[in-house]
Every structure is written in structure tokens, then in C-alpha cells.
């Protein structure tokens, strides 16, 4: 039986080995970066060859457990993602390299690293479940005016927001200690919510083999998806379980959306169309006025 809606305290390779082929709709992995970070139960410093050989094992497992219609996402620094892509290109299908803009400290001598990458692969070339996602239009903080008017065609702008591209600058890392768990690299829930909205439906199954303190599982639960989370550190696993016990669905007008401070941060385009009917273009408005005029003129006893 699949351990659905469970946080499993264990080693990801051992747990993945017990999961059958083709059962998961979306996998997300945020492995240790091999940068010597201070985790509880895990030593984040291995020889490069050893680290990459280990990564190849779990990457292959993730592709194996994913359904033919499913997707695999992997978050890491570009250095390791180039190696992951070499492995994944042989066993899955490249979709996107998402650049998640997140400033870090200058290292000196090299360019300032200003993004993390998220590799997006699908298990098969065709038939992948994928939904376009919208984020709010960017506005000026002081006057709330739109920062882009799309070439003066404001009337053609979507009433909610723009389709997201492969560069994400609107989701910030967790900056305040009061919002963070005792974990060195907790991701923001809104990052995971966007990926889940992009590639799953309600009721689908999401798997994270390096769950940390539960971000992916919480995002999945908030959006009405099922999850399987694997985490080697018993303390992190317990924090995740405790948070999940208090996690409630986030919906707007009955539709699962990613909410941040009461505002929609991401919504599927198909759902946005139900809540925010498209604006009429100038041409459509002119046509509507002309039709109304014709109807008026056709009325007897004007």
C-alpha cells in the first residue's frame, strides 16, 4: 500500500525502492547541495563523484515512480543542475530551466550568483499534464500603477495577471527568522504551490524525497493534493508532521489557489478564467456598441 499523506522518517533511496513504478503525478526534489550546510542528521560534504553517483540513483528512482503523464522538478545550484540535466536527458524529457531569482552573498572573483535553478522534466515527450499559471501584474509600490502596459494595450491585459515565464522574481526566500523553522534551507510554500498548480489536479499525488520541514507536503495539502514526504532527520520529519496537522486548504471562491497575505500569488489560467472574466478589447467594445445601436434603430416607435 502506498504511504499516502504520510511523512516518512527514513532514507529516500530505501523508501523509494518500496514505491511501485508509475504512481506519482509530480516529484519535487530539493536535495542537500553538498556545500557543507549544517543539517541535523546529514553530513553535507561528500566527494564530488560520490555525491553525483548518489544523485543519479535517486533521480532514476524519481523518474521510475512518476506516471507517464507526470513531471519531475529538481531544485539546486546551477553547478549541480548541469550534471543532473546530463542524467535526466537520457531518461526523461526536458521542459524548462526555471531561474528563481534569489540574491546571495558575493563570492568574489566570479559573477554574483543571483538565481537558483529548477529543472523541469516530464516523464514522456507527449501527454504531460501541464497548466499555464498566472501571477498578479507587477505594480508600483507607491502609486499602484502597472509597471508594464504591454505597449499601451491596457485594454487587452488580463484582468488578474500575466502568465508566468521561466524567470521567477516574485517569490522571495524566507527572510524573517520568525517565519522559518530550525532548518538551514527551508523553501517558501509559494514556490512549491506554483509548481504543483502547474502540473497537477486536485486529488493527484506529489512526492518529495528530501522533505525538510515539510514545505512540499504543506503546499500539496493546501491545494487539495495528496503527498508522500521522505526525510532522514527525525526532528525535521516531526516538525513537518506537526505543521501538517494544522494545515488548512487555501481556496478563493472554491478554487484552490496559492494565497500569500490574503492575496492570490499564483492561479491556474483555466481557473482564473472562471473567476476573472476577460476584459473586452477596444474593438470588441466598439462592435458591442454598434450592435446595440442597430437594435435600438430596429425598435418600433423610437
Q: Check residue 135 for interaction with ligand SAM (CB under 6 A).
A: no
CA distance 272 to 10: 39
Is 12 a binder of ligand SAM (CB under 6 A)?
yes
Compute the distance between CA of residue 158 and CA of residue 276 in angstroms, rounded to an integer. Answer: 8
Distance of closest approach, residue 81 Cβ to ligand SAM, in angstroms: 14
Query: Strand 205-208 vs strand 226-231: parallel, antiparallel, or unpaired?
Result: parallel
Nearest to 265 by CA among 229, 219, 297, 200: 219
Closest approach of ligand SAM to the CB of residue 49, in Å: 17
For ligand SAM, which residue of 16, 19, 32, 161 counts as binding (CB under 6 A)?
32
How many helices and strands (H and E) does the chain possess? 8, 14
User: What is each CA distance from 249 to 7, 134, 197, in whole angstroms?
Assistant: 18, 20, 14
- Residue 136 or residue 184: which is nearer to ligand SAM going by CB? 184
| Number of amino acids touching ligand SAM (CB under 6 A) | 21
- The answer to the question of residue 241 lying near ligand SAM (CB under 6 A) is no
Indicate whether 193 belongs to the interface with ligand SAM (CB under 6 A).
no
Choose the stretch contacting ligand SAM; rule: CB under 6 A; options: 19-27, 118-126, 181-189, 278-286: 181-189
Residue among 285, 249, 278, 248 at smallest CA distance from 134 = 278
Sequence-ordered list of residues with C-beta below 8 angstroms from that of 290, at least 6 positions apart, any chain: none
117 binds ligand SAM (CB under 6 A): no
Q: Which of 55, 65, 118, 187 binds ligand SAM (CB under 6 A)?
A: 187
Closest of 195, 194, 192, 191 to residue 172, by C-alpha:
191
The only residue of 26, 233, 267, 272 in contact with ligand SAM, by rule CB under 6 A:
233
The dihedrals phi and psi of 129, each to the nearest 5 degrees, come to -75, 120
Among 71, 186, 200, 250, binds ligand SAM (CB under 6 A): 186
> Crossing angle for the helix pair 189-199 and 215-222, nearest 10 degrees?
50
Q: Which stretch binds ligand SAM (CB under 6 A): 112-120, 154-162, 210-218, 254-262?
A: 210-218
Is the CB of 119 or the CB of 272 nearer to ligand SAM? 119
Which range binds ligand SAM by CB under 6 A, 29-37, 100-108, 109-117, 277-285? 29-37
- Name the 3-class secondary structure at 30: coil
76 binds ligand SAM (CB under 6 A): no
Among 185, 235, 273, 275, binds ligand SAM (CB under 6 A): 185
Q: Give the SS3 label for residue 248.
A: coil
* Alpha-carbon gap, residue 228 to 139, rounded angstroms: 37
Contact set with ligand SAM (CB under 6 A): 11-12, 30-32, 39, 41-42, 183, 185-187, 210, 212-213, 215, 230-233, 236
Amino acid at each position: 500500500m502506498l504511504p499516502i499523506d504520510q511523512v516518512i522518517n527514513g532514507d529516500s533511496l530505501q523508501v523509494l525502492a518500496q514505491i511501485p513504478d508509475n504512481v506519482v503525478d509530480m516529484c519535487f526534489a530539493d536535495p542537500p547541495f553538498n556545500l557543507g550546510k549544517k543539517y541535523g542528521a546529514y553530513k553535507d560534504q561528500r566527494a564530488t563523484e560520490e555525491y553525483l553517483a548518489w544523485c543519479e540513483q535517486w533521480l532514476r528512482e524519481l523518474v521510475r515512480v512518476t506516471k507517464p503523464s507526470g513531471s519531475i522538478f529538481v531544485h539546486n545550484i546551477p553547478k549541480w543542475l548541469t550534471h543532473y540535466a546530463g542524467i535526466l536527458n537520457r531518461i526523461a524529457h526536458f521542459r524548462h530551466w526555471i531561474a528563481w531569482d534569489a540574491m546571495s552573498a558575493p563570492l568574489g572573483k566570479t559573477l554574483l550568483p543571483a538565481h537558483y535553478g529548477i529543472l523541469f522534466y516530464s516523464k514522456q515527450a507527449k501527454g504531460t499534464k501541464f497548466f499555464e499559471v498566472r501571477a498578479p501584474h507587477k505594480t508600483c509600490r507607491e502609486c499602484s500603477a502597472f509597471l508594464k502596459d504591454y505597449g499601451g494595450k491596457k485594454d487587452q491585459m488580463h484582468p488578474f495577471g500575466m502568465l508566468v515565464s521561466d524567470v521567477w522574481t516574485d517569490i522571495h526566500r524566507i527572510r524573517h527568522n520568525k517565519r522559518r523553522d530550525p532548518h538551514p534551507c527551508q523553501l517558501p510554500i509559494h514556490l512549491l504551490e506554483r509548481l504543483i498548480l502547474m502540473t497537477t489536479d486536485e486529488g493527484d499525488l506529489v512526492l518529495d524525497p528530501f522533505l525538510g520541514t515539510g514545505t512540499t507536503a504543506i503546499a500539496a495539502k493546501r491545494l487539495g493534493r495528496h503527498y508522500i514526504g521522505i526525510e532522514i532527520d527525525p526532528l525535521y520529519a516531526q516538525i513537518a508532521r506537526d505543521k501538517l496537522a494544522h494545515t488548512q486548504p487555501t481556496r478563493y471562491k472554491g478554487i484552490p489557489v496559492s494565497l500569500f497575505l490574503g492575496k492570490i500569488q499564483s492561479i491556474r489560467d483555466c481557473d482564473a478564467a472562471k473567476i476573472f472574466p476577460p476584459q473586452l478589447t477596444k474593438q470588441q467594445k466598439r462592435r458591442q456598441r454598434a450592435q446595440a445601436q442597430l437594435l435600438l434603430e430596429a425598435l418600433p416607435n423610437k
